[in-house]
Structures are given as C-alpha cells and as structure tokens.
Amino acid sequence: MIGRLNHVAIAVPDLAAASAQYRTTLGAVVRPPQDEPDHGVTVVFIDLPNTKIELLCPLGADSPIRGFLDKNPAGGIHHLCYEVDDILTARDRLKAEGARVLGSGEPKIGAHGKPVLFLHPKDFNGCLIELEQA
Ligand code: CO
C-alpha cells in the first residue's frame, strides 16, 4: 500500500542554523521557509535526488512539536512520510487493522498542498508516520 518515501522530518531548535548547515556544510538544495499555521510548524524542505528532508520548527504556542523539542533539545528525527495513492482508502484499511490515526481522523492539507494524516507512533515501532496522498 505505501509507496515512495516522500520525506524524513527533523525537528530543529534553530531553523535558520539548520538550513544554513544543509545548504553550506552538506551542499544541499534548501527551499525557503514556509509557515504552516494549521500544523503549528514552520518548515524548510531540502531536495535530495531520491527524497526530501523536512526541517520543522515550532510555530505558535500550541505547536505539536514543542514537547518533542523539550525532550530532544538538540533536535531529532520526528517522522517519516510515505506516499499513498488514496488517503481515505489507506486510512480505512489502517483503522480496520487497529492502527490509531491522530487528530480527528480526517486528512488535513499538508505542506505540499496534498492531504495528509498521521499515525500513532506506538502502533509503528515508535515512529510517527505521516501519509501523504501522492
Ligand atoms: Co512531514
């Protein structure tokens, strides 16, 4: 059911510093920051030949990644995003298998303008999973 790895997301305490490191030290193509108020984050995408890296920094007081950064002040891998062809079909199949979908269970529009859902990390080996309709 899952397809390509769309991105690996890394929560970072300093978005400008992390962006500069990827651009300069690692020599990557780094996109400009985008605020995602619906998700409580500011994101920077880094294009790699086979996938993307998503740098995440909290936006607003209720950011869902604030707690993660409190526990991991230097930053860390926050989630993996897999592509699916049909997000509602994927959601219904996962729920039938007993997986927990976070939030209301309805897809939100993600950073690429496409519907996304998140799956509970405790159901997936401790790894938060984002599904994005490709
Ligand atoms: Co993501």
Q: CATH no. for residue 23? A: 3.10.180.10
Confidence bin at 3 (pLDDT 50/70/90): very high
Output the pLDDT for position 51. 97
Question: Separation of 63 CA from ligand 1 center, angstroms?
Answer: 14
Tokens representing residue 100 in the block: 């927990």
Residue type, 51: T
Whole-angstrom Cα distance, residue 42 to residue 16?
11
pTM of the model: 0.93
Per residue in 7-65, pLDDT tens? Answer: 999 999 999 999 999 999 999 999 999 999 988 999 999 999 999 999 999 999 889 99
Confidence of residue 108 (pLDDT cuts 50, 70, 90): very high
Between vectors from CA 123 to CA 70 and to CA 42, what angle results, nearest 5°? 40
Q: How many structural domains is the chain composed of?
A: 1
Residue 6 neighbours by CB distance under 10 Å: 23
| CA distances to 32, 34, 131 from 23, in Å | 11, 17, 27
* Pairwise CA distance, residues 33 & 38, whole Å: 15
In the reported structure, the alpha carbon of residue 22 is separated from the centroid of ligand 1 by a whole-number distance in angstroms of 17
Instruction: Indicate whether 112 pLDDT > 90.
Output: no
Task: Give me the phi and psi of 82, to 5 degrees please.
Answer: -105, 145
- Domain of residue 19 covers 2-133
Which helix (DSSP H) or strand (DSSP E) does residue 8 occupy?
A: strand 5-11
For residue 81 the two structure tokens come to 């995003």
CA of 90 to the centre of ligand 1 (A): 17
What are φ and ψ of residue 110, in 5° steps?
A: -90, -170
Q: State the catalytic residues.
A: 130
Query: How far does the centroid of ligand 1 lie from the alpha carbon of residue 97, in Å?
Result: 23
